Structure 1
């Protein structure tokens, strides 16, 4: 039977199964590079994702990963989920344990040196450690020293000096450690897998007056998609017909369904809860918001945080240092008359306890888990470096319009100086009937339920307002400059629209942008998290800005700023603080780029926000900022705990060499214990949900 060959023209992306450790990932990547037809390789260990430039076959790639039983699948093909107990390596580990137990029965019944006892322990070593010893031996020949090399030397050395029982226990415990580590990494990677499964694979499309169900890859921009109540939306688009409430928590993190009507944007992966929707598809399956989120999360998890870079550099020198220490332990005591066999044994124990796996995995597993958690809560953190920097922020600057405020002005006061308030609103509504200015839209909303008279003979005066005929008389609406020569009442706050005739003021309306709900509570949370300075930056006039500042609880207000002045302010603020800038990702791009951490609001709605900022809040929810800072602080704390735990357990175990208490099985317990402690400690971040 002819094997199926996947030809990789320029590049192709694969999903990996069985990628268990960073050292294995490095070896796998190195093996792929040896394939003659492969030009370049990019392996993302955290996301278990492989990008190959050149030509190869699935068989060739799997052969390159055969040492670790790595399976390779095309990106769009879902890798099968194999239960823990069905994995070959885990079955061999259990079988090895059985032989270890039987071996110890013989050990105590017929003696440790009996042929049957030794044979049973040898079977346990071969079954549980075949892959380990095979890979470790190859590495040893090539002078490549990783944890498998160290373990192989220890096992072979223990066998040479007749410690068969301990060699078998070491092999089993190492295999168990590998299995649990692999299980834990798979659990951390599920944060990405869950995102990948959010959007459906097929969509109902209307073509030639017929409804057809097709793969999302075959849907074209401009197609009409039908979404029934209760269905997941398959593609990004705009609503053409219908009204419904859509749960888009998977995209934006919003817990409350959002109303969607004509012209509203919907996202692939969100759930249509009530009415049927007719949607015009606006993006291909590769460009949907959820697809971009997945791509950016995977790229973020591949980017090493400063702490991880330090650990990698440290581990580079740590392993040779452990080997040198083990050699000194083996050689120095016998030189002064000690027993060679005893100190060879102790040296092998040093090799085992010195394996750097716990240290190497301490940071990436925490970063992977935290970034995946954030993505599920509607926060896109674009790299471990930003996750770490966010933990150290002590000042947050906010844009005003659309960030601190809703960006939708509302009529807050109606004051009639002649006639009734309803009559004043009717005239104002008639004058603004054909204007699309944000302030005009506020008046439209205020006058929705009123019967408006017809206005004619419109005259727009730039920078001042509008004049038109209503009820046969000329009326005007606008700012104070439109009413020069007429005495006006003093109104100190917000935007004021005066309404009157050529010679008389009949009333005025105040219009103001409204702060976001619960914003004072969010500012309070920020201050509780150690943010000493919260400042609002705006181009709005001082009195309006200060009014909003008082309502929101920011510690400082900077008004009447041009974009370049916002940039200059951030530069000055950075001289004394570590600054996060929050804006919409468009007008605030320079300030976002200059800040230590740039945070864009409403990333789900704008590609610019996703591309500009270091962190994107997929919805317009300011509560995600304290949540993100809290998550980053906890992540950094867990990383430090992990590094401390890994090193402390190593040091304590190594000190046991001095009185001669460090045995091989105790050494592997210390190594395995350190690895499992840091992994399970990091996995606590999975439960870190927004409060």
Structure 2
């Protein structure tokens, strides 16, 4: 099976997008399809051996909506900014309608002008309607609009028929413009990479496109410029504005050997950097890709609207038929009730819903990204606001994860430097927070060629053969498994024990602090409906109990191995009447992040693994980001609900007024276009 991504051009009808998606899903050789109307993207999974896929997709799209083209992702499509085939007939049609209204023409002149304007403006709509009938798609938007205006012509409402078609075309253009502008503004949030980089050469500097820069190249970043690629500072020091990525307003100081990320702004110092990742693999590129792909992970509301649209239109058309037939069969004037039935046809298109609901989610995802919160799909916005329980890892999540070495404890006769040397060498290649603390505090001789055997046991410790020395470093339980007894009891602190050549060397004690603002963030989440909060930790029971009590958690479990964390998480999920999130630092918690109803990785902007595994990624480590993520999810849900109620409410009102004879075709088309524009504006408001 292969998955391909395509760009869609000239698709302005959201309901037509649903029909294209349905049509593609029915094509031979297609396994699954996702059409993202807001981003104009089509993602298709094919069975092996599909030939001429692009040609077949284009044929299908054009048969549903003439003029729509599909290209391979990234291919350039020649777009005519001024489509004279659209604007010229529309301008002439508008003038004819106004002329007819002002002059009050009658007779053959009125018929000729009205029918002429109707054909001039609506010929593309009528052609599309004929094509849809040929495919058996009677309830297409174009067919319904054609039928409604033809009905007006039959009733000799020539000017009204032309005016409805004019307003419909203008409305389609305005809807397309509003969606395009909102899409452009959201995409601009993270479009923060410079186009070129200053490559350091023997002759000076050379400006290169980012795609030409290789890993290991040296670049200059001048004050006021954005960092072009991920890398490490090799010369200079400065302060970086990271707010565009993380939402963090406080400048970040950097100096030699500090890692820096693409997209951040260099404020006041000249920096030389060494590139560590190519453009396609940079942090910004990964984040942009996540936002771009978010439209494919649709929420239940979006899926409901898609299903609803397939039933709404036929139902309203059926109602229109009844509105006409029942009064006529009862002896009422046919022309009066035909006119009222036509109102139903005009409001039978669910465009306001089909456009505004996915757009609301897309805007919500974009607004969250501006704050340094990445939702990997609209489905996760819905999941976030429906959470009833949250499970937290301890180190690096509830606590800062910046461990400090508090003290060394060694048995009598043991040199503490021997303890330090053993732990340093054993932890040298580990990514555990203990290892980071050791390597940042001490230095020791380490030669990778001396490592003859190395095994790291997740949640337990390390076994290593360094030269002829057999080293064991890890938890008390890990050393006990290897026959060591009488280990030092370090009290409530987090510890790492060490032994070499069957001699116990003692332990290293670490201290960690609760993350500032975590207690306040958890209290805020409780007020928002999170009923249960649990901590799962691999640390000692005494330490875990202290942290849990200080934060007011409902439950905790300590000294857990990674698999045991999964088991406890599943128990919590089984006991909870609702959805459960797991929040971790993303490096050692991948299984738990994947298993929970919602996986949240905190402060992991530079960690590709967490960005890949989690459903929600918080790009900075401020606890308030958890609250901000929930609030954004709730605001998005409110906007979606408002748009659904607005669209359905206006359409039902117009239908009721149409039956009573209060509203005519003018009011119907203005209401239909107007409610769509209002819904789009509501979705995109700041």
Same fold (TM over 0.5): yes
* 1:656 Cα deviation after fit: 2.7
Cross-structure match for 2:675: 674
Cross-structure match for 1:166: 160
| Post-superposition CA distance 1:453-490 (Å, at most 9, x none) | xxxxxx9996699xxxxxxxxxxxxxx96779xxxxxx
* 1:11 Cα deviation after fit: 9.1
* 1:594 Cα deviation after fit: 2.0
Choose from 197, 216, 221 the match for 2:215. Answer: 221
Cross-structure match for 1:129: 122
- Of stretches 241-250 and 34-43 in structure 1, the one that deviates more from structure 2 is 34-43
CA 1:637/1:497 → structure 2, altered by over 3 Å: closer, same or farther?
closer
Give the Cα–Cα distance (whole angstroms) in 2 for the partners of residues 440 and 56 of structure 1.
Answer: 51
Matches within 5 A, 1:428-467: 436=424
8 Å Cα contact 1:366/1:639 also seen in 2 = yes
Cross-structure match for 2:527: 528
8 Å Cα contact 1:395/1:580 also seen in 2 = yes
8 Å Cα contact 1:16/1:70 also seen in 2 = yes
Cross-structure match for 1:572: 571
- Of stretches 344-353 and 251-260 in structure 1, the one that deviates more from structure 2 is 251-260
Choose from 266, 273, 298 the match for 1:272. Answer: 266
* 1:100 Cα deviation after fit: 2.7
Indicate whether 1:285 and 2:279 are aligned: yes
Indicate whether 1:337 and 2:331 are aligned: yes
Give the alignment's Cα RMSD to 1 decimal. Answer: 4.2
* 1:538 Cα deviation after fit: 0.9
Give the Cα–Cα distance (whole angstroms) in 2 for the partners of residues 483 and 540 of structure 1.
Answer: 16
Give the Cα–Cα distance (whole angstroms) in 1 for the partners of residues 91 and 542 of structure 2.
Answer: 73
8 Å Cα contact 2:15/2:354 also seen in 1 = no
Matches within 5 A, 1:1-12: none
Cross-structure match for 2:369: 375
Give the Cα–Cα distance (whole angstroms) in 2 for the partners of residues 442 and 328 of structure 1.
Answer: 76
Matches within 5 A, 1:245-324: 245-324=239-318
Gaps of 5+ in 1: 1-9, 416-426, 449-458, 466-479, 485-490, 499-507
8 Å Cα contact 1:62/1:70 also seen in 2 = no
8 Å Cα contact 2:408/2:416 also seen in 1 = no
* 1:209 Cα deviation after fit: 5.3
Report SS of the residue matched to 1:206: strand
CA 1:229/1:578 → structure 2, altered by over 3 Å: closer, same or farther?
same
In the superposition, the TM-score normalised over structure 2's length comes to 0.79
* 1:151 Cα deviation after fit: 0.7
Cross-structure match for 2:143: 149
* 1:388 Cα deviation after fit: 0.9
CA 1:74/1:233 → structure 2, altered by over 3 Å: closer, same or farther?
farther
Give the Cα–Cα distance (whole angstroms) in 2 for the partners of residues 632 and 607 of structure 1.
Answer: 24
Report SS of the residue matched to 2:391: strand
Cross-structure match for 2:684: 683
Cross-structure match for 1:355: 349
Give the Cα–Cα distance (whole angstroms) in 2 for the partners of residues 149 and 447 of structure 1.
Answer: 76
- Of stretches 626-635 and 214-223 in structure 1, the one that deviates more from structure 2 is 214-223
Give the Cα–Cα distance (whole angstroms) in 1 for the partners of residues 550 and 32 of structure 2.
Answer: 56
8 Å Cα contact 2:492/2:540 also seen in 1 = no
| Post-superposition CA distance 1:168-222 (Å, at most 9, x none) | 2211222232122112211332255315632122222234554221222222222
Choose from 225, 229, 232 the match for 1:235. Answer: 229
CA 1:74/1:554 → structure 2, altered by over 3 Å: closer, same or farther?
same
Cross-structure match for 1:20: 12
8 Å Cα contact 2:494/2:539 also seen in 1 = no
8 Å Cα contact 2:240/2:251 also seen in 1 = yes
Cross-structure match for 2:561: 562
CA 1:27/1:565 → structure 2, altered by over 3 Å: closer, same or farther?
closer
8 Å Cα contact 2:368/2:629 also seen in 1 = yes
Indicate whether 1:140 and 2:133 are aligned: yes
Cross-structure match for 2:41: 49
Indicate whether 1:202 and 2:196 are aligned: yes
| Post-superposition CA distance 1:409-437 (Å, at most 9, x none) | 2367999xxxxxxxxxxx99998599646
Cross-structure match for 1:546: 545
Indicate whether 1:635 and 2:636 are aligned: yes
Cross-structure match for 1:588: 589
Give the Cα–Cα distance (whole angstroms) in 2 for the partners of residues 405 and 155 of structure 1.
Answer: 66
8 Å Cα contact 2:144/2:345 also seen in 1 = yes
Report SS of the residue matched to 1:334: helix
Matches within 5 A, 1:591-610: 591-610=592-611
Indicate whether 1:649 and 2:650 are aligned: yes
8 Å Cα contact 1:38/1:55 also seen in 2 = no
CA 1:147/1:678 → structure 2, altered by over 3 Å: closer, same or farther?
same
CA 1:278/1:80 → structure 2, altered by over 3 Å: closer, same or farther?
farther
CA 1:195/1:101 → structure 2, altered by over 3 Å: closer, same or farther?
same
* 1:311 Cα deviation after fit: 1.8
* 1:582 Cα deviation after fit: 0.4
* 1:597 Cα deviation after fit: 0.6
* 1:337 Cα deviation after fit: 1.5
Report SS of the residue matched to 2:402: strand
* 1:607 Cα deviation after fit: 1.5
8 Å Cα contact 1:232/1:272 also seen in 2 = yes
8 Å Cα contact 1:192/1:297 also seen in 2 = no
CA 1:636/1:131 → structure 2, altered by over 3 Å: closer, same or farther?
same
Cross-structure match for 1:477: none
Paired residues, number? 622
| Post-superposition CA distance 1:34-75 (Å, at most 9, x none) | 9999999875322123569866999x9699659565577875
- Of stretches 384-393 and 671-680 in structure 1, the one that deviates more from structure 2 is 671-680
8 Å Cα contact 1:228/1:272 also seen in 2 = yes
CA 1:403/1:44 → structure 2, altered by over 3 Å: closer, same or farther?
same
Gaps of 5+ in 2: 45-49, 410-414, 428-432, 444-468, 476-484, 498-506
